[in-house]
Structure 1
Amino acid sequence: MLFDAGKSFRNVIVHQALIYGFLLHSFAVFQCVFSATHNTQLICSHQPILALVGHDVILPCHLEPEVNAGFWTVVWTKPGLDPEYVHYHQTGRLLFEDQNPSYYYRTRLFMDGLISGNVSMKIFKVKKSDTGKYRCFIPALQKEASIQLLVGSVSTPFIKVSSNHSTRAVLKCRSEGWYPEPEVSWLDGEGHVLSAGPTKTVRGPDDLYTVSSRVTVDKGHGNRFTCRVQQTNINQTRETHINVTAAFSRVQSSSGWHTILTPCFSCLLLLLLIIIIIDSHKKNSK
């Protein structure tokens, strides 16, 4: 009986030792995980991200050191929206019911990248209204970081040449659909900035800008000029080049044909009218 009591006592000791060892191991694992997550930083780009209307863009954010965020909630918001949720990732999927309608089917996270701490968000078919500050929040870490998105719209300028002087020509440059408001400048063939008249700017109902400018230049042989439209905030520039001599030759050629064809067309109309009158007179005589 004493033997059985001693055996039971040993079993209790072993059982308690196992429980203590398990608890100690669990605590050590928890401490390691807590230490790892506690020291983890959420880092987003400190530089503004640029995107053009209609293009796709990635807002880069990551965890450092790398932590598997595949099973964590990742929340992207844009302050000022109602609701402010741009992308709400939970239990491995996007919660559409919490997402702002203007971002429906336009955002995604990189599922393969989450396991290595990549919590970047991609926005498809960027709109002008997407510009602004975004916040990424990881509830499990109680960490958040912000990133700025700048959205722009651009177009290629068009140059039209006209002249009422034998040695000088007027160049008119026009470009539509810009955002933010751009600047216009003229350059000669050597890249020197020319003195031009004030730029005319019109803001349309869609908040996009149309700019136009004109400059008077000489019709010297081989004169090449450039109309440059640029927006420094979004680092975008569009240029169109023109050779005044060649362009004016085309204008003169077109004007020459117009001079020849106009009287011919008038004669044909007059002849047709005479034929109609004669034919009508013959019918009345019968």
Structure 2
Amino acid sequence: IKGKKNTNIYLVYLYLEVTHGASVCVSSVSQHASAVELYEGDSFILPCQYNTFALTDLSVVWSRSDLSPPTVHQRQRQGDELKDQNQRYSGRTSMKTDAVETGDLSLNLTNLQLSDSATYTCSVTDLRYVRGQRSCCSLCFSTERFPSWVKALLVLLVLLVVSGGLLFHFRYYFMSGESLPEVRKPPSDSVIDQ
């Protein structure tokens, strides 16, 4: 995330892992990346969808493992529980009021800061059946600056394709073997009649 004066592209990686009990079950999940332009001060929604209808004593925790405390935002059926929230995110996070009922557990992160570039995890826990924390749904979001070496490589690749295209286009001119017609000189020993 950069200031408004600089335009920087970031890659957004989304990864979904579904865990039930002690077994891991990953089904119809795809990992994909897309480019998003983010500026300091903007807002961004980190998506997370999970079917919550069967969970009665539900806790949703958005976290960052690199922070202490790691909690970015916490929601229970009764509402937000922000007493363990990391101070960096105070007043900058929110979830829809009907998030638990609809299963749309997306986190709205406002006033983006440079330090917000990280991996975020959305954990859904049914507190009735868990001793300690067990993640039922994890979604990771991370932002990384588009590396400058990749930009240079892309420029070189474009130049290579363009030069190859030009060579292909003019190959007949260079390899046809055709030459310009010869200009014949008159023989030097010829005599011109007067």
The structure carrying a bigger helix percent of its residues is 1
Work out which of the two has the higher radius of gyration on C-alpha atoms and give 1 or 2: 1
Structure richer in strand, relative to its length = 1
Structure with larger RCO (C-alpha < 8 A, sep 6+): 2
TM-score, scaled to structure 1: 0.35
State the TM-score, normalized to the length of structure 2.
0.50
